[in-house]
Amino acid sequence: MPTEAAIAGSPPDIALPTADQEVLLRACLGSGERALDAWREWSSRVVLDDIDNGSQRLVPLLYRNLVRLGVGQTEIGRYQGIYRKAWYENQLHLRDLRRVLAAMAAAGVECMVLKGIPLAVSYYEEIALRPMADLDILVHPSAATAAARALTDLGYSPAIDTAADLPVDFVNSINAANFVADSRSDVDVHWRVFLDYWREDAEASFWEASETAQAGDTKFRTMNASDLLLHACVHGIAWNPTPPMRWVADAAMILRARGSDFDWKLASSRARVLGLALPFREALAYLETVIPDELTGVAYRAEVRALRSTRRERLHHRLAVSSPAKLWVAEPLWYYYVRHFGPQSSSDGWWAAIRRFPRFLQVGWGLGRLRDVPRTALRKLWRRLRSVPGK
């Protein structure tokens, strides 16, 4: 499988870590003198007070690795403060997770916990090493409204008005909604694992292959290791104004925890079914440059080399990893709409799909009224035209 060549040929907006972030990753995930050299290089290149949010979230992991390597507290005392803060905040997240899970159970809503909490308690050495900003749960699409009402009863409210009670138009348009409450962890309610790659049978298989995890006395369902890795990789390399470098550390912890038992066949099969072969392969290509020891073995090489993408999937991937500033007004939204909710999913044809598209844009852009869509589209088009060289 190509590594450097694959990365060099990746779309220009692919969210790979910056040079400073990569040095930090090597300090966090490496061992011996190589890790120490990376730490010294990173600390000479950055000012701790000025580092980006993604880098700050890795400081607890850096602190633990440096302690393991024998670095004295006088040199990393500030790192310890960030580590302790992460531990405290994650305890609050666990407290709020227990409340949310209890509310979902009382409402009869089956759910899985995604991302931060499962990774922190099942794959990282200790919970403080994986800071998080919110809680993520997955429910069945048919239970989205019940989940929203359960959170409302718990004192939460949707972050945007169009998500109130999660109406059908909203659920059919995107994959998640954010709920907020004073002095509590934000909760992202997902009803599909991925926004722009989904199939009903594949969504069901995530539930069928899920596992039980435990945080203290709280048990919950979560993805298996193969699905967690795929999820982390695909989200990690999609466009983001701040590259979410934490996915690299997540991938390393998953692979180290499972070792030779990691199910590469399941991960690659899931990627192919969902049309995720290209983003998964590109993410793995980058991981090979940072954590090569975790990506070895006959099973890995055979399964990853077998990943192939179609022309349609390559177009889809280009949209997923491109900065919105480089795309025309509704190009990605139209593509997602046609792929998932267009004429192939109903019997009323293309004309009905075109008539429904303004409503889809309203939800996708978070607009309160349908009549705001034309004005918003024109504003976006004007900004796009002004950004084109020579205009």
Q: What is the mean pLDDT of each run of 10 residues along the chain (391 residues)?
A: 38 71 96 96 93 93 96 90 96 96 97 96 96 94 92 89 64 80 92 75 88 93 96 83 82 94 92 87 91 85 80 69 57 60 56 74 77 87 68 46
What pLDDT does 368 receive? 74
The answer to whether the CB of 87 falls within 8 A of the CB of 128 is: yes
From the list 186, 185, 158, the residue with the least C-alpha distance to 174 is 158
Q: Would you state the CATH architecture of domain 4-310? A: 2-Layer Sandwich (3.30)
The answer to whether the CB of 281 falls within 8 A of the CB of 307 is: yes
Could you give the CA distance from residue 88 to residue 83 in angstroms, rounded to a whole number? Answer: 9
Where, residue-wise, is CATH 3.30.460.40 in the chain?
Answer: 4-310
What pLDDT does 136 receive? 96
Dihedral over Cα of 170, 171, 174, 179: its sign: positive
What pLDDT does 391 receive? 46
What pLDDT does 11 receive? 46
**The pair of three-digit structure tokens given for residue 204, joined into one six-digit string:** 């069901």
What pLDDT does 306 receive? 79
How far from the centroid of its chain's Cα atoms is residue 18's Cα?
18
pTM of the full structure: 0.82
Could you give the CA distance from residue 384 to residue 90 in angstroms, rounded to a whole number? Answer: 41
